[in-house]
Every structure is written in C-alpha cells, then in structure tokens.
Amino acid sequence: MFKRILIANRGEIALRVIRTAREMGVECVAVYSDVDDCALHTRMAHVAVPLHGVTPAESYLDMDKILKAAAETGAEAIHPGYGFLSENAEFARRVKAAGLAWIGPPAEAITVMGDKIESRRAMAKANVPCVPGLTDPVDDVAAAVKDAEGIGYPIAIKAAAGGGGKGIRIVRDPSEMESAFRQASGEAVSAFGDGRLYLERYIDNPRHVEIQVMCDSHGNRVHLFERECSIQRRHQKLVEEAPCCVLTDQMRQDMGEVALRAAEHVNYEGAGTVEFLWEKGEFFFLEMNTRLQVEHPVTEMITGVDLVREQLLVAAGEKLSITQDELKIHGHAIEVRINAEDATQGYLPSVGILHNLRAPGGPWVRLDTAMYRHMEVGLTYDPMLGKLIVWGPDRISAIERMKRAIAEMNVGGVRTSMPAALTVLEHPRFVSGDIDTHFLESLTIEPPKEHDILVAAACAIYRHNKAKRSAMDPEASSREEWKERGRRERSGYARRLMERGGQV
C-alpha cells in the first residue's frame, strides 16, 4: 500500500478520500487555490500545498502544478476525486509517466468512454443494449433529417464529447432540426472544443438507473447493484437512492451482468459507473463515468463497502477485498445534494458567508461536507456544498429519516436546494416510486415564507454591520482569525511530519 498520496481536488470529495486514507495509514497531500486557503481539506491532510491562482484553470486544472506538488511532497499516487481532472486521459497518462500510480481507470478506458460516439461503438461490439441511434457523427442538417427518419422521432441531438447536459437538443419534428442542430453544435464547440454531433432516439419518460462496478488488475470484477438517479433537472441530479424500487431481482442481475460486460470490454480497473435509461422493463446504455460518482455513499450504505478503500487497493496492485457472492443489499439509502442554489428562482446560484451551521444527527445519518462557519460561498466553483445521506431498513423509513434530517439541518447565509429536496420527498408520486427524469422539473417549489424573509433580512444586516467592524479593525475579523488558525494547523501538521522523518 502507498505511504502517501496526493488528492487533486477540493471540498467534500477531498475530505472523503482523506478520511479513508487515514484509516488505512496512508498520508495525504492536499492542494489548494487562493480561494481555498482556509478550506477544511487543507487542515485534515498531512501536508497542504498552495497551487496559487483563483480560477480552476489556474489551480485544480493545472496539471504541471499538481505534478510538481506531488514530486515535491514525495507522493506515490494521485487520486483525482470527481470533476476537474478525474476523467482527463492526458492527465492519467502524465501521472503514470511521472512514475506515480493513478487512482483511476487506464487512460485508454477513459478515452473510449469519454467520447459518446466511441463508447457507443464499443458497447455495440460488447453486445450492450444501446439507445437506437447513430454510431458515426452526423455532418450536416440534411443528413441529420434523413438519419432521424430511420431512427424515429423524437430525436436527441448530442455532442460526441458532451457531459453535464451540454450540447443536447431535443427535436420532435423535422422542422425543428436546423435550429436545434446549429444550437447543439455551437454549444458543443464552446463547452468542449469539439462540435461533432450524433443522433439517438429520445426516450420521453425514462428512469435514470446506474450500476456501480469495481474491477482490479487481476481479472476480478464485481457490481455493487444499482442507484436510482431520476430526480434531476437539466441532467443534474438532486436526490439519489439505492436500490431502485421498481427493479426485480432478475432485472437487477441482468443489468449488473451487462455493466460488467461493458467494463470488461474496455479492460476497466477501479471504480466506475455504467448508466442506463430504463423504461417499461427495458434498459439502454447511456454512458460510463470513469471515476467515483458523487452519489457513491448510497451504495456504501446498502452494501457496507468502502469504495475509496477499494480504489486504493486496486491502484496499489492488490486484489478487490470483496467477491460478487459476498455482496448483498441491506435496506435502503437516500442522498440529497446540498447546493448553494435558490430553487424558488429557477435554481439561481446563491452566494454569501455561512454564518451558522447545524448538522443533523441520530442513527444512520451521514453528512459529507466541507462547510464551516464563516466560509465564503462564491461563484468560482461548483455550487454543491455537501451531501446528506441516510439509511433505513426499507424505503419508507429512509424517506422519513431524510425528512427529519433535513428539518434538523441548518445552513445560514445562503439559500440551498434542501427545500426542493423536501418537496420531492413529500410528494405522493415519489413516495409511491412513480418517477422519471422529468419529475423534478414538473414540481413548483414554494417561495420562502414571511418568517424566512425576515430572517434573511436580519442576516443581511448582521453581515453588513460585521463588515463595517472588520473594516475598522481588521484584526477583529473572525474570518481572518479562522484563516490564521488554518495556517497554524497546517504548519503544525508539517512540523509533526518532519519530526517523524517525513518529507515535506
């Protein structure tokens, strides 16, 4: 096993990796931007290295800076978390070329699965059922109209290099094709630098069901059952659960076997997720995410498997610690993402300073977050502040436990997506399991009550007065005190590591 790894990420996923690594006796190197100079992941790591810069391009996406930090701190491997460089094949190759272990799948698998057209071709060869559509890019509008007639409307135009819902347009009539094609191509070029498009049939009311897989370099492969991720808006998930309440045991087995076949075809290693669209008992391959997923905790809760631990074992050349026969589903788990967004205003980003925090407790409640009091929430990075996860012996008890946990949770200073999640959990259709990928967008999230508005106004006044006091006496700023405390803690970790003979 490694002695020290570098985590090329921030926020709650960096903390998540650090916690498991510490339990395994592995030291951790954190990296951070100027915005994150007092972030929690810099305190919990053994060593924290500044990347400098503010934007992702200047910090967490700068391969040279991250590789330099790994070399200077003696890290033996790099864990990319999710987002940023986690699905960048070039970075995976550079990590290996630098003599480091890459805690992720082979670069070749990332390349194939990261391109929607290449992945469809590969899955067709592996006899994995795909949504009816093209396996070659379409060149122009006229060709698209002709191909769409053979596929059948409605049609989804998709970017070959796409992700996160970008470069996608839905066409229900040939007259809409020209405008949709042009918009999708332009968005694809802007977002990915790649304007290639392909067509597939648009499934109107599917469920989004994904299978967690884990593979090692010794030929061992397991699936850890499914996650239901249909509660989403603009292809961004809000509520996830495991298992899916409509799958039969036979369907679950069939989907798991197909997911493993997909992984085997690309010689996959490590943690990955094979995503499917499910409708009326049929399922079709959507894509494969070649990294750890945000929603991985619900799988951990129903299986008792630490997925980060398995990632580290695989990257170190060891065998998986689990076999398919040993894996069983126990109970039901639900995850709610805590995003800094105002759901009553079309999920607009919410910014501010977290002046108050209260975490829920009780049995089988887990909070994965990097939030702390006085933390400034801005627009530089993803709006996700954390994830609230609960487990129950069955789905109904898990729903009730999540509702109670949300009621206890308090994030003061910004609007969050939790009211939207609560609206979902209380809806009769969700409780009955009658959901699809359009369910969340069909809901109306109620605006805040008068009491909430008064509280928000009082908080704004508090922040204004606090800012005035800080301007008059900078030394009195609690935020500056927090930063200084973080610097002291980091230097303390470094000193103790030096005393033990470690390299900093």
Is the preceding peptide bond at 349 cis, omega within 30 degrees of 0?
no
Nearest to 423 by CA among 438, 401, 445: 445
* Bond before 154 cis per omega within 30 degrees: yes
Question: What's the gap between Cα 281 and its chain centre?
Answer: 27
The whole-angstrom separation of Cα 288 and Cα 262 is: 9
Do the beta carbons of residue 77 and residue 5 sit within 8 Å?
Answer: yes
Tell me how far CA of residue 69 lies from CA of 1, 7, 76, 95, 486, in angstroms.
20, 10, 11, 12, 20
What single letter denotes the amino acid at residue 209?
A: V
- For 63, residues 6+ apart whose C-beta sits below 8 A from its C-beta are 85, 90, 91, 94
Which listed residue (4, 169, 221, 291) is catalytic?
291
Using CA atoms of 214, 225, 259, 120 in order, give the dihedral in degrees to the nearest 10: -110
CB 375 within 8 Å of CB 354:
yes
Active site residue 121: no
What are 177's two structure tokens? 């094709």
Strands 207-215 vs 221-233: parallel, antiparallel or unpaired: antiparallel
H/E segment holding residue 412: strand 410-412
Residue 364 CA to residue 275 CA, distance in Å, equals: 27
Contacts of 84 (CB under 8 A, 6+ apart): 8, 9, 56, 60, 61
Could you tell me the end-to-end alpha-carbon distance of the chain, in angstroms, rounded to an integer? 20
Report the phi/psi class of residue 359: left, alpha or beta, with left for phi > 0 and alpha for psi in -120 to 50: beta
- AA identity, residue 16: R
Give the whole-angstrom CA distance, residue 202 versus residue 171: 8
The pair of three-digit structure tokens given for residue 461, joined into one six-digit string:
């006044």
Element (DSSP H or E) covering residue 276: strand 270-279
CA–CA distance, 203 with 198 (Å, rounded to integer): 15
- Contact (CB, 8 A) for 260 and 274: no
Backbone φ and ψ of 462, nearest 5°: -60, -45
Sign of CA dihedral 245, 249, 250, 252: positive
Any idea which residues carry the catalytic annotation? 291
